[in-house]
Structure 1
């Protein structure tokens, strides 16, 4: 009788382990770097983020002329009725929005094509243009709405607006509170829009090779999606269809147990 009870118990465990069990999840980043060892790799050529339509950028111009500084950084200089120098505030104080044509409207100069350029390229172009108006201008360009989005199995899924255009995958996950225990570290999806195209790339954060990947550093508007593992999917499936299937499987399990009991009692 004890052997029969043992067999029934094993059958029940096997049935429900198959239903609710899940593969062992590797929760360690770069797990192929052995404990106590070191790993060195060359840093791949980092692809510089490019300025895109709908980007908001800050442009600060420094010259040897205080009047020019006011002109390019604040707006149009005018004189009031008492001959006091005034400045008309323009959106430059809040940043320049790159329009649908890839242009910004800069004081005095007017429309300038800037989309498709890196910050360094845009800085050089702005400097060359302003040299026609002032001597030795210094131009600094900064993103005001550089953002990345992290969703899926992380503690704090969100869209993050940054003051820098250099952020790695690990830093982005850190902003999102890191992955939960259900996040597939070996199958993180990166979605990137660039030059009118959209591409999706699967990344394995258990693999040290990611440290030398061209996708290790994120770009403007990148989206990281952390996929949940199977056990989380089962827990989230609470609709009627899933409950019906579950009840059928439970009924099958109970029937199987009784049949086994009958067979072994014969």
Structure 2
């Protein structure tokens, strides 16, 4: 009887030890050294299909820029009059990487960086339409998505269009203890193809990763560790089994004490 009790307690201890998490599994940036020669603070916003662009043209000649800064208004179905406050027109980049811009017509801008697009548009406008134009471009639907074993998964709009993977994880409330830190997935669309990257948050090499700076519509996915998966797939009667086991252990202990 004593052996049964000892074995039962031994199994319980093993279960508790198996559920423990080592510090080496959860502390960020603990491995490797940073290769400063590979660290870059430069970041480029690349224009992609489905981006919604807000394009503002300014110059000293305000009349010259007026045709290029159209206003989007809503009209009443009954009176055919404008309703509400006029807002600046936005431009959806289609699947071919094109927008239909006032006066200039179709412009193929997919794959250009923001700076390249601004230079391209200035070249189209000056000097035939506007003298010394200033061009401001903003992606109004810039967002990233964080999924998986984090505290607050979801879509997050990024107003300044610049975010690192660490900042994205911070927006999602950080990983849960059960999240796999050494195998975080980043899915990105490049040249019409879905590309996947793996990131190790335990390593300082993350600062040299091509996905350290995220791009619009990137998806960050954190996998749950093995213990979390096993816990999620456990039978719904697990708690009942544990309760019955506890009662049996208590009874065996009482019987052992009475037989002494």
TM range (shorter): 0.7 to 0.9
Which residue of the other structure, out of 80, 92, 95, is the alignment partner of 1:97? Answer: 92
How far apart are residue 215 of structure 1 and its match? 1.6
Q: State the SS of the aligned residue for 1:140.
A: strand
C-alpha separation in 2, matches of 1:115 and 1:39: 34
Match 2:207 to one of 187, 196, 211: 211
| Number of the residue aligned with 2:57 | 61
CA contact (8 A) 1:47 1:214 kept: no
Inter-partner Cα distance in structure 2 for 1:47 and 1:197: 21
**Partner Cα separation in structure 1 for residue 190 and residue 87 of structure 2:** 26
- For the Cα contact (< 8 Å) 2:51–2:139, is it kept in 1? yes
The question of 1:235 aligning with 2:231 is answered: yes
Which residue is 2:221 aligned to?
225
Aligned residues: 228
RMSD: 3.1
Contact 2:70-2:89 within 8 A present in 1 as well: no
Whole-angstrom CA distance in 1 between matches of 2:199 and 2:124: 42
Q: Which residue of 2 aligns with 1:106?
A: 101
Matched, 1:198 2:197: no
Q: Which residue of 1 aligns with 2:120?
A: 125
SS where residue 135 of structure 2 aligns? Answer: strand
Q: d(CA) in 2 for partners of 1:94 and 1:159?
A: 24
Deviation at 1:6, TM superposition (A): 6.7
Partner of residue 149, structure 2: 153
Q: How does 1:65-80 map to 2 (within 5 A)?
A: 65-74=61-70
Check whether the contact 2:54–2:91 (CA below 8 A) recurs between aligned residues: yes
| Secondary structure class of the residue paired with 2:65 | helix
Moved more, 66-75 or 208-217: 66-75
Note the C-alpha offset of 1:156: 0.7
The residue aligned with 2:168 is 172
TM-superposed deviation, 1:134: 1.3
Deviations for 1:66-109, whole angstroms, at most 9, x for unmatched residues? 11232211269xxxxxxxxxxxxxx9814211122211111111
Give 1:21 shift: 3.7
How far, CA to CA, are the matches of 2:65 and 2:52 in structure 1?
Answer: 21
Q: CA deviation at 1:202?
A: 1.2
Gap change, CA 1:58 and 1:92, over 3 Å in 2: farther
TM (normalized to structure 2)? 0.76
Structure 1 distance, partners of 2:197, 2:111, is 22
Ranges of 4+ aligned residues in structure 1 off by more than 6 Å: none
- Name 1:263's counterpart in structure 2: none
Equivalence for 2:81: none
Look up the SS of the partner of 2:223 in the other structure: strand
- Asked whether the equivalents of residues 44 and 213 of structure 1 are also in contact (C-alpha less than 8 Å), the reply is no
1:162-215 superposed Cα distances (whole Å, 9 cap, x missing partner): 112211011101111111111111111111111011111111011011112222
CA deviation vs aligned residue, 1:18-77 (integer Å, no higher than 9, x gap) = 9x64663622111237xxxx967242374623111110011111112111232211269x
User: Which structure 2 segments of 5+ residues have no match?
Assistant: 73-85, 249-260
Is the Cα contact below 8 Å between 1:22 and 1:230 reproduced in 2?
Answer: no
Residue 24 of structure 1: which of 22, 25, 39 is its match? Answer: 22
